[in-house]
Structure 1
Amino acid sequence: MNVKIDTKEKFHVLTPMETTLSENMTAEISQLLLSCREKEVKNVILNLSQVTNIDEQVAQIILNSQQEFYDLELSFVICEMKPELEEFLDKVEILDLLNYTPTESEAWDIVQMEEIERELFEDE
């Protein structure tokens, strides 16, 4: 799977360069997301701007990974989903469980706000 990785100060932006995320990619996607949690910069923005089709198993892996990130007090935001992708995720009842934004810029804002919240609660 071809993925563009852009590392910023507080997060990685992962952009799959595939139009379809199929079931046979689940292990690779899981490993990619796991590897991000093992780096110094742990927060992830998953930019799905290139993706038009996704298998339900991959969507479930993304949902589970998002929950694992938040359980570890890390951020995981999805952005730039195409309407047909949103429709599919809504149909399989996953869309409402995801933390997603229309633009990458908004995803950056969410990650930075969550970082500030964690720092504030850490001080209490």
Structure 2
Amino acid sequence: MNVKLDTKEKFHEISLLDGVLTANMTADFAEMLSVVQKQPPFNVVLSLEQVQEVHADMQQALAQAQQAYYELNYSFVICCMQPAVEEAFDKAELLEMMNVTPTLSEAWDIVQMEEIERELMGDFDTE
């Protein structure tokens, strides 16, 4: 799996560079996320700009990864999804449960808003 990783102040920006994400890449993807998840920042922005096709097992892996991050109270935003990929996620009935933005800058905005929201909710928990 070809990946570009860029660490920002609030998140890791991961760009998947393969045109097709196949089922046999799910283990590599999970391993990469487990490594990223061990070092701050803990939020992830995943760019699928180069991806033209995502097989069903990988679609499930992406959806599960996103849910796992949110369960840990971290952000996981997918951006730059190509129309065919978006359609595939929609047909698999996964798109609505995922946090997807059209652009990288919108993904950054969501991570920052969610960080603020977590900070504010943390303030309510301490009162």
Report the TM-score when normalising by structure 2.
0.95
Q: What are the residue-to-residue correspondences of 1:77-96 with 2, within 5 Å?
A: 77-96=77-96
Q: How many residues align?
A: 124
- Secondary structure at the residue paired with 1:14? strand
- Alpha-carbon offset, residue 2 of structure 1: 1.0
- Gaps of at least 5 residues in structure 1 are none
- Alpha-carbon offset, residue 35 of structure 1: 1.6
Task: Give the whole-Å Cα distance in 2 for the aligned partners of 1:56 and 1:96.
Answer: 16
- Alpha-carbon offset, residue 90 of structure 1: 0.8
- Alpha-carbon offset, residue 93 of structure 1: 1.0
User: What are the superposed Cα offsets for residues 56-94 of structure 1, whole Å, 9 maximum, x if unpaired?
Assistant: 100101111101100010000000000011111111111
Provide runs of 4+ in structure 1 moved above 3 Å: none
The percent of aligned pairs where both chains have the same amino acid is: 50
- Alpha-carbon offset, residue 27 of structure 1: 0.2
Task: Give the whole-Å Cα distance in 2 for the aligned partners of 1:101 and 1:92.
Answer: 18
Q: What are the residue-to-residue correspondences of 1:1-124 with 2, within 5 Å?
A: 1-124=1-124
Contact 1:4-1:16 within 8 A present in 2 as well:
yes
